[in-house]
């Protein structure tokens, strides 16, 4: 299995990395939260380009976003302006990437993935629509953060220069030859801007809100953790491009309804089947009223595919959604872009693992409660006793459990 103990812990480190930590901040800005917001923005930008008739290599976009996230974790101490200056010196930048590769390679126990990472770090980056989308999403998500930071530092003499630099970078994508339709819509305050703001607000919602934990994790960061785990789980399969796209963005957007309902903890949701169904129905109603009006009508069915019955395996046949499928059936019968396959059960496994990691790391850091301990043990027990043939998730939980017992 590609997603091993060492790699998953590296992915989780994104919750410990502070952004804008040389400024007064009304809240912590966390690296994994920023990357999650960035990828939602990238999704929006990509969809607009597709609407204009352009081809977006989504599999490459997702892969490069995961590798860039891992790179940012390794070089977390380097401020963005310094990093941009380093990139201008090809020799120094190559040395930095060599260091990054040597740090990550031992944690990735898959030859093909290591080759892809090497190509990402050392290949000649061609300017194309995929790289433009990721670069623009990165800059715009930073600008979104800066607008909050600026209000807490109103008299900082660097505000004007930072704002000018960010706006100058954004402007590159507002006119040919790098023009992106979505960026022009965002800076013109069209309704899609409200959707980006709604998604951004998920970083303010702290999971396990009634339980002290270290680190605290937001709903937005949680979704990026889930999406990244889903990416590596899906790589264990013989996947078509649409399957990877669906699985990743389902993981990224599966908690989108919480932007209007807040994070209702699982024990409350599962307190009764009637209550769980009522919450689900309420999420659908509020999404129709408060989320979907802000996105393009052509995207609504896809967003529903990602956010409703999101933990069900499903395909689309002649316009109808078919569920009650095993992952093996999808691989053998429907592993084609034509069927738009989605492994909802993989998203569920990743969602459970993310919750387990949130509890496990807090306990491992010395902040524990009965709720954290019981939740971690219950999730682990469920998977240690399971048999998932293409993902050795049982061994993964056993590794965590052995370390869990050592920190009792």
pLDDT tens column, 158-168: 999 999 999 99
Q: Are residues 14 and 30 in contact, defined by beta-carbon separation less than 8 angstroms? A: yes
Q: Counting Cβ atoms within 10 Å, is residue 364 exposed (0-12), middle (13-18) or buried (19+)?
A: middle
Give the separation between CA 403 and CA 215, rounded to whole angstroms.
Answer: 18
pLDDT in tens, 172-191: 999 999 999 999 999 998 89
The confidence score (pLDDT) of residue 276 equals 67
The confidence score (pLDDT) of residue 295 equals 96
**265 pLDDT above the threshold of 70:** no
Confidence of residue 400 (pLDDT cuts 50, 70, 90): very high
Domain 5-201 coded CATH 1.10.3210.10:
yes
Mean pLDDT to the nearest integer, 240-268: 85
Mean pLDDT to the nearest integer, 375-402: 87
Enclosing H/E stretch for 317: strand 313-317
Mean pLDDT to the nearest integer, 344-368: 95
Mean pLDDT of the chain: 92
Return phi, psi of residue 124, to 5°. -75, 110
Mean pLDDT to the nearest integer, 324-330: 93
Confidence of residue 109 (pLDDT cuts 50, 70, 90): confident
Q: Are residues 171 and 42 in contact, defined by beta-carbon separation less than 8 angstroms? A: no
Enclosing H/E stretch for 139: helix 129-152
Mean pLDDT to the nearest integer, 346-360: 96
Give the separation between CA 327 and CA 346, rounded to whole angstroms.
Answer: 8
The confidence score (pLDDT) of residue 269 equals 53
pLDDT in tens, 83-104: 888 988 999 999 999 999 999 9
Confidence of residue 263 (pLDDT cuts 50, 70, 90): low
Distances (CA, A) of 21 to 18, 31, 76, 165, 225: 6, 11, 11, 19, 22
Which range is least confidently modeled, 251-255, 257-261, 316-320, 369-373? 257-261
pTM for the structure as a whole: 0.94
Report the percentage of the chain scoring pLDDT > 90: 78
pLDDT in tens, 361-385: 999 999 999 999 999 999 999 998 8
Mean pLDDT to the nearest integer, 317-334: 95
Report the percentage of the chain scoring pLDDT > 70: 94
Confidence of residue 240 (pLDDT cuts 50, 70, 90): very high
**394 pLDDT above the threshold of 60:** yes
Where along the chain do its domains lie? 5-201
Enclosing H/E stretch for 321: strand 320-322
Give the separation between CA 106 and CA 400, rounded to whole angstroms.
Answer: 19
Mean pLDDT to the nearest integer, 290-303: 96
Is 235 or 403 the better-scoring residue by pLDDT?
Answer: 235
Confidence of residue 146 (pLDDT cuts 50, 70, 90): very high
Q: Are residues 40 and 253 in contact, defined by beta-carbon separation less than 8 angstroms? A: yes
- Beta-strand relationship, 313-317 and 29-30: unpaired
pLDDT in tens, 25-80: 998 999 999 999 999 999 999 999 999 999 999 999 999 999 999 999 999 878 87
Mean pLDDT to the nearest integer, 107-134: 92
């Amino acid at each position: 299995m590609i997603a091993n103990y060492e790699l998953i812990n590296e992915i989780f480190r994104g919750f410990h990395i502070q952004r804008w930590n040389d400024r007064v901040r009304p809240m912590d800005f966390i690296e994994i939260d920023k990357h999650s917001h960035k990828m939602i923005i990238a999704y929006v930008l990509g969809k607009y380009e597709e609407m204009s008739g352009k081809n977006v290599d989504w599999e490459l976009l997702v892969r490069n976003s995961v590798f860039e996230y891992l790179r940012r974790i390794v070089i977390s101490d380097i401020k963005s302006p310094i990093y941009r200056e380093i990139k201008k010196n090809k020799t120094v930048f190559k040395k930095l990437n060599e260091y990054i590769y040597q740090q990550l390679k031992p944690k990735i126990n898959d030859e093909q993935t290591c080759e892809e990472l090497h190509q990402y770090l050392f290949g000649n980056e061609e300017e194309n629509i995929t790289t433009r989308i990721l670069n623009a999403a990165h800059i715009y998500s930073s600008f979104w953060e800066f607008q909050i930071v600026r209000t807490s530092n109103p008299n900082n003499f660097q505000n004007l220069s930072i704002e000018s630099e960010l706006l100058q970078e954004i402007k590159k994508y507002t006119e040919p030859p790098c023009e992106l339709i979505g960026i022009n819509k965002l800076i013109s305050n069209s309704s899609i801007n409200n959707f980006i703001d709604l998604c951004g607000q998920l970083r303010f919602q702290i999971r396990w809100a009634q339980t002290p934990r270290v680190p605290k994790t937001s709903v937005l960061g949680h979704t990026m953790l889930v999406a990244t785990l889903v990416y590596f789980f899906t790589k264990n399969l013989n996947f078509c491009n649409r399957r990877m796209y669906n699985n990743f963005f389902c993981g990224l957007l599966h908690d989108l309804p919480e932007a209007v309902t807040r994070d209702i903890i699982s024990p409350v949701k599962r307190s009764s089947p009637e209550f769980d169904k009522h919450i689900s129905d309420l999420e659908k109603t509020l999404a129709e009223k408060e989320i979907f009006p802000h996105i393009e009508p052509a995207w609504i069915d896809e967003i529903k595919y990602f956010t409703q019955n999101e933990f069900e395996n499903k395909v689309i046949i002649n316009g109808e959604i078919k569920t009650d499928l095993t992952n093996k059936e999808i691989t053998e019968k429907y592993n084609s872009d034509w069927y738009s396959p989605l492994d909802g059960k993989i998203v569920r496994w990743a969602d459970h693992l993310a919750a387990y990691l949130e509890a496990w790391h807090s306990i491992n850091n010395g902040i524990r409660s009965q709720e954290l301990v019981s939740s971690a043990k219950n999730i682990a027990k469920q998977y240690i006793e399971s048999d998932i043939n293409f993902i050795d998730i049982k061994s993964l939980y056993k590794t965590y459990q052995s370390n869990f017992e050592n920190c009792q």
